[in-house]
Structure 1
């Protein structure tokens, strides 16, 4: 493990992951997250996140600082099964964050991420579908201090759509403010809600192939993440063995 520091970092994240067993367990998680008593960070861990963890110790620290980490995608399910662990439900943010928005009906929400006009379109959709009150909008390209200042508007739910690793770093800083609030690292959720990108067909999602659809729609942007990143993740999954979970 000393020769491969990424193994220790992977262990840190796997130990932190909250596996959701079934629909009843998912409802319990949803209920807890919708009533935060202090600043609470929700993150999602997929193969891309684990590649970033392997490459960047600071990102690992920011991701591990989240209060709740959920498994996202088939890559982490493959890793769990290799380790002899039950992967639970696929708690991808694109499906789960809308459930959170519905749970925050009538409450103050901030969307920080993506860019216009998609940001405003996402806010309009959220207000129309989920009844939230969007009190703050900002693109995802500002400094961390900008978002710290925006937090003075005291939203009860903050959705960060900045992509990894920036959103996890922003979330960690926002959590230091301590105000009761749920801070969600939402990845591309605002792009989906704002119509910038579309989701894969249901049948392809059920097969765990949504990444193939996304790659076909944005090949230049996502080539390294998927064509290079997925095989790299699988190679690391082969090297990361069960002994690492119980080692020092």
Structure 2
């Protein structure tokens, strides 16, 4: 993944790193921006959840446990490599306290790292003064790597709407990864992710916020998938 992030790209081209998990699969049924973004040819979809690995296997795809990866596994390594190669990083998202704490930690750990950011609480309406200020700040920073962590589907809506104005070679949909790095969310043990149990750790850590995602969305998603299968079934002659 790091080689993909840091490999040279022709000027004016970019790649979007988008994550796919059960929550994202549910969002595709309620927000077209997420589905549209992941379907674009310049979006690299990352398998961020064992349930999707199991679903793909059930459909005959040769997918292994090792194909499952998440930002928590390599965000820190990406900062280290950016510092070593002199590449800039911009973090867009999170609450101001989370952002500033994470930026301070990164600068202290890698003094040569060129990193900046802006919190995720701004007006994304096209033409708004706040949006224009954010886009101008990203452009002025000239990052190689933009990490957008505003949660699904807000982060996908932002990138889908304004990707052509982001002169950044790599745009990553990072979710809560930077909050983990900043120490504002407990990082699940990595073995839990490999066995499809990371959701249990996140639910226990923040039940009020995560209950809908992990307890209500799966049966709702099952209903969406069942309806799709029914409407796409072969018709009798």
Question: What TM-score results when the alignment is normalised by the length of structure 2?
Answer: 0.79
CA contact (8 A) 1:199 1:210 kept: no
Corresponding position of 1:76: 52
Corresponding position of 2:206: 218
1:83-108 per-residue CA deviation (whole Å, 9 max, x = no partner) reads 11122411212213333323322321
Corresponding position of 1:147: 134
Corresponding position of 1:11: none
Give the gaps of 5 or more residues in structure 2. 125-130, 233-237
CA contact (8 A) 1:48 1:229 kept: yes
1:61-210 to structure 2, matched below 5 A, reads 61-65=36-40, 67-88=43-64, 89-105=67-83, 106-129=86-109, 131-134=112-115, 136-144=116-124, 145=131, 146-153=133-140, 154-177=142-165, 179-210=167-198
> What SS is found at the alignment partner of 1:104?
helix
Deviation at 1:150, TM superposition (A): 2.1
Number of equivalences: 213
Worse-superposed segment, 183-192 or 52-61: 52-61
> What SS is found at the alignment partner of 2:95?
coil
Corresponding position of 1:9: none
The equivalent position to 1:42 in structure 2, one of 17, 29, 36, is 17
- Indicate the RMSD between aligned Cα atoms, in angstroms: 2.3
Which has more radius of gyration?
2
Give the gaps of 5 or more residues in structure 1. 1-28
Aligned equivalents of 1:194, 1:45: Cα separation in 2: 23
Deviation at 1:46, TM superposition (A): 0.7
CA contact (8 A) 1:46 1:71 kept: yes
CA contact (8 A) 2:145 2:170 kept: yes
Deviation at 1:128, TM superposition (A): 4.0
Aligned equivalents of 2:19, 2:188: Cα separation in 1: 19
CA contact (8 A) 1:113 1:161 kept: yes
The equivalent position to 1:51 in structure 2, one of 26, 29, 42, is 26
Q: Structure 1 residues 59, 138: closer, same or farther in 2, change over 3 A?
A: same
Q: Structure 1 residues 199, 70: closer, same or farther in 2, change over 3 A?
A: same
CA contact (8 A) 1:121 1:193 kept: no
